[in-house]
Copies of this chain bind each other. A is one copy, B any other.
Amino acid sequence: MKRTVKDIEYTQSSIDLATFAKALGHPTRVEILKHLNKQSCCFTGDLVELLPIAQSTISQHLKELKNAGLIQGELKPPKIKYCINRKNWKKASLLFKDFLE
């Protein structure tokens, strides 16, 4: 890899769309978001029960969704409650809608 994405000029909307899309680009993360969207919020533990993958892997996926801005975590010791980030969800919704017409 000789060049990084940062060297190239893309429109901000292309970058934003690609970032959201990348986060949605794995079925596990889609399932997480589906579950989260259905009941608005849930704990990591709920997802560990729901999905047949390791707890650490789910944490990793949650981190990616968080980094993309699609979810946010709220401390409810000793648990962590994850919720859809409605502001960015809406932003993504509009971006995809506009892009796909």
A residues lining the B interface (CB < 8 Å): 3, 5, 8-11, 14-15, 17-18, 21-31, 33-34, 37, 51-53, 89, 92-93, 96-97, 99-101
Whether B27 and A5, one on each chain, are in contact in the complex, defined by CB atoms closer than 8 angstroms, is yes
Return A5 CB to nearest CB of chain B, in Å.
6
A58 to chain B, nearest CB (A): 12
Q: Are B14 and A31 in contact (CB under 8 A)?
A: yes
Closest 3 pairs (CB-CB, A-B)? A22-B25, A21-B24, A93-B100
**How many of these chains are in the complex?**
2
Q: Shortest Cβ distance from A55 into chain B, in angstroms?
A: 14
Give the distance to chain B from A36, nearest Cβ to Cβ, in Å: 12
Which of B17, B26, B37 contacts A22 (CB under 8 A)?
A: B26
Q: Given the known A-B contacts A22-B25, A96-B96, are A17 and B30 also in contact in the complex, defined by CB atoms under 8 Å?
A: yes
Distance in Å from the Cβ of A46 to the closest Cβ of chain B? 17
The answer to whether B29 and A18 touch across the interface, beta carbons within 8 angstroms, is yes
